[in-house]
């Protein structure tokens, strides 16, 4: 397996960036779950009366919950990618494209520190999807 091209200081900076992003993702998931998933539809709407909700209100609440679950799912996917990047730091392969095995640019990794593909391979993959 090829080793990354970054020095120890640069790798430590990326590790710090990944850990910070991981904490942010965990906070976002906790925020979404406490705001959306732990409340009943009546509590979320602020209606605690004994009257039933209108069907349109129920549909809106369901849409909002689905949207929030989608956001939480995205954050979960980011957490998985961050953990994979942290494992790559441990094994020395951080910063290498999983497809072509060439180095991922430092600029790309600063923007998306858990990137698995270089720009060229990412663009190629997006064209085929």
Could you give the CA distance from residue 62 to residue 41 in angstroms, rounded to a whole number?
8
The whole-number pLDDT of residue 47 equals 53
pLDDT tens readout for residues 96-120: 999 999 999 999 999 999 999 999 9
DSSP string, 97-116: -TTT-PBPPHHHHHH-TT--
Assess contact for 104 and 88: CB atoms under 8 A.
no
Q: In the structure, what pLDDT confidence band is assigned to residue 39 with cuts at 50, 70 and 90?
A: low
The Cβ of residue 118 has, within 10 Å, a number of other Cβ atoms equal to: 22
**What is the percentage of the chain residues whose pLDDT exceeds 70?**
81
Average pLDDT rounded to a whole number, residues 89-93: 93
pTM exceeding 0.85: no
The whole-number pLDDT of residue 18 equals 97
């Amino acid at each position: 397996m090829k080793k990354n091209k970054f020095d120890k200081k640069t790798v430590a900076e990326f590790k710090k960036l990944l850990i910070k992003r991981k904490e942010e993702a965990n906070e976002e998931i906790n925020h979404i779950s406490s705001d959306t998933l732990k409340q009943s539809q009546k509590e979320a709407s602020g209606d605690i009366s004994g009257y039933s909700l209108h069907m349109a209100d129920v549909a809106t609440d369901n849409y909002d919950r689905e949207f929030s679950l989608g956001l939480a799912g995205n954050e979960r996917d980011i957490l998985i990618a961050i953990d994979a990047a942290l494992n790559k730091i441990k094994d020395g392969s951080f910063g290498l494209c999983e497809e072509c095995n060439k180095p991922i640019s430092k600029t790309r990794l600063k923007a998306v520190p858990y990137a698995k593909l270089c720009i060229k391979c990412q663009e190629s993959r997006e064209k085929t999807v």
